[in-house]
């Protein structure tokens, strides 16, 4: 992202925190290219019958956040982490709708593979990972945020560190813990 755009994003975040209701709209508009990249990462392994598209994923995430008056966006990284979380819930809801349409017929045991979660994955796997993240969040919210940022937004360790205000090494160490926990949790699911 060019420095001028990064500066404008910072200015819009400050306006949003100051109560400018239109600043969030302009922020999403300015960051749309980067948001498309994040959304494409979710959908890059799309099956031919995939019904969730990049633009739809971004717009649904935007709609979930647009009316949030208490949305406190600290910086650029935090903005993208919040958008990633919203995208996660859009993907999960999409998977639930697909799963409900199929009425079951699925996976007995979900297996966790790195970079395997996204809107194109079987609904049962997306829902199992979502449930596992919810459980993980109940006792370690930071690990849950790292998993969200990595899988549902495709952020790098450096981007996650910036978004969550952590060091890259902490993100890497926490990722190892979270991945091991998820593998174990999903193996018994």
* Distances 107 to 41, 75, 99 between C-alpha atoms, Å: 24, 40, 11
CB atoms within 10 A of CB 38: 23
- 64 vs 24: CA distance, rounded Å: 12
CB atoms within 10 A of CB 29: 11
Q: Quick one: average pLDDT of 90-119?
A: 58
What pLDDT shows up at residue 167? 94
pLDDT category at 90 given cuts 50, 70, 90 is confident
What pLDDT shows up at residue 155? 81
Find the farthest-apart pair of alpha carbons in the chain and give their distance in angstroms, rounded: 51
Q: Which two tokens stand for residue 145?
A: 């945020």
Q: Which two tokens stand for residue 46?
A: 């799309």
What pLDDT shows up at residue 108? 42
Q: Which of these ranges, 52-66, 74-88, 90-104, 140-154, has the smallest mean pLDDT?
A: 90-104
What pLDDT shows up at residue 48? 42
The pTM for the full model equals: 0.64
Q: Find all residues with CB under 8 Å of 116, minimum gap 6, and list them.
A: 125
Q: What pLDDT, in 10s, does the model give residues 48-89?
A: 455 678 888 888 888 888 767 677 888 888 888 888 888 878
Q: Which two tokens stand for residue 90?
A: 């859009």
What pLDDT shows up at residue 75? 84
Tokens 């996976």, residue located: 107
Q: Which of 133, 119, 115, 94 is nearest to 39 (CA)?
A: 119
**Domain ranges in the chain?**
3-187
What pLDDT shows up at residue 188? 67
Q: Which two tokens stand for residue 153?
A: 């937004």
DSSP 105: -
CB atoms within 10 A of CB 67: 9
Q: Which of 85, 160, 144, 92 is nearest to 123 (CA)?
A: 92
Query: Between residues 86 and 5, which one has the greater pLDDT?
Result: 86
128 pLDDT above the threshold of 90: no
């Amino acid at each position: 992202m060019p420095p001028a755009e990064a500066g404008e994003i910072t200015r819009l975040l400050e306006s949003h925190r100051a109560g400018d209701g239109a600043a969030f709209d302009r922020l999403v508009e300015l960051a749309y290219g980067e948001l498309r990249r994040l959304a494409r990462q979710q959908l890059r392994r799309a099956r031919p019958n995939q019904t969730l598209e990049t633009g739809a994923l971004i717009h649904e995430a935007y709609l979930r956040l647009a009316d949030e008056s208490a949305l406190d966006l600290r910086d650029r990284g935090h903005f993208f982490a919040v958008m990633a979380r919203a995208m996660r819930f859009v993907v999960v809801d999409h998977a639930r709708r697909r799963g409900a349409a199929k009425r079951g017929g699925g996976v007995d045991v979900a297996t966790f593979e790195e970079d395997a979660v996204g809107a194109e994955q079987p609904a049962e796997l997306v829902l199992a990972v979502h449930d596992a993240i919810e459980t993980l969040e109940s006792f370690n919210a930071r690990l849950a945020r790292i998993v969200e940022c990595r899988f549902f937004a495709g952020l790098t360790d450096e981007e996650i560190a910036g978004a969550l205000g952590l060091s890259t090494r902490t993100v890497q160490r926490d990722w190892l813990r979270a991945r091991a926990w998820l593998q174990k949790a999903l193996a018994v699911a």
